Amino acid sequence: MKSELFLPIRSSKDLPETLKNTPFEVLLRSQNMEEMFEKFERAQILIGMCMDNRKQFRLPENFAYILRTGGGSLRHSEFKVSYAIGVGGVRHIALIAHNHCGMVHVADRREAFVAGLVENAGWDRAKAEEHFIQLAPLFEIGNEVDFVLSEAKRIRERYPKVMVVPFYYKVEDNQLYVIDEKKA
């Protein structure tokens, strides 16, 4: 994967013009530059991100609705997305992919999944196998970058007045990168 696909945002001068004076700027300055912000009166953004335990973002108080799912997929969270927009008044959605995501090629984790459910949850093996076979395809994301870009496209079509921006988070440096969609 080409590294220039991910634009590092280390200081305000790295911010793309399109993201300036938007909640995405606050997100990037808060997480990447460790800036502190005043508490917000109401939510500014919806953040869709993976349930992965290695991700904890620094965010201002009251700033964001956060939906955490396997791989950050919002395919099965549509009512919650609509709620954040319709009731919460959110006009901006950040979709955050990350590296080393467990939902990439989740199909390969069948044995660990089954053995773990038997050991940790007390399931019988056949039931665990069936559970995996039924549900794994719904959560498989294939390639995390292709997936987040397709999610962004899908959500833009569904909610045309909402600004949707895909990001990439690297577990190692705890930084959010803007994905250059033109290079993808």
- Interface residues with Zn ion (CB under 5 A) are 50, 52, 101
> Nearer Cβ to Zn ion, position 49 or 90?
49
Structure tokens at 38: 């005043």
> Beta-carbon neighbour count of residue 146 at 10 Å?
12
129 near 115, Cβ under 8 Å?
no
Nearest alpha carbon to residue 144 among 116, 175, 176, 105: 105
> Nearer Cβ to Zn ion, position 85 or 101?
101
Cβ 28 to Zn ion shortest distance, Å:
20
> Nearer Cβ to Zn ion, position 11 or 112?
112
Cβ 110 to Zn ion shortest distance, Å:
17
Cβ 54 to Zn ion shortest distance, Å:
8
Residue matched to tokens 């190692």: 172
> Nearer Cβ to Zn ion, position 117 or 141?
141
> Nearer Cβ to Zn ion, position 43 or 50?
50
Cβ 130 to Zn ion shortest distance, Å:
24
Cβ 62 to Zn ion shortest distance, Å:
26
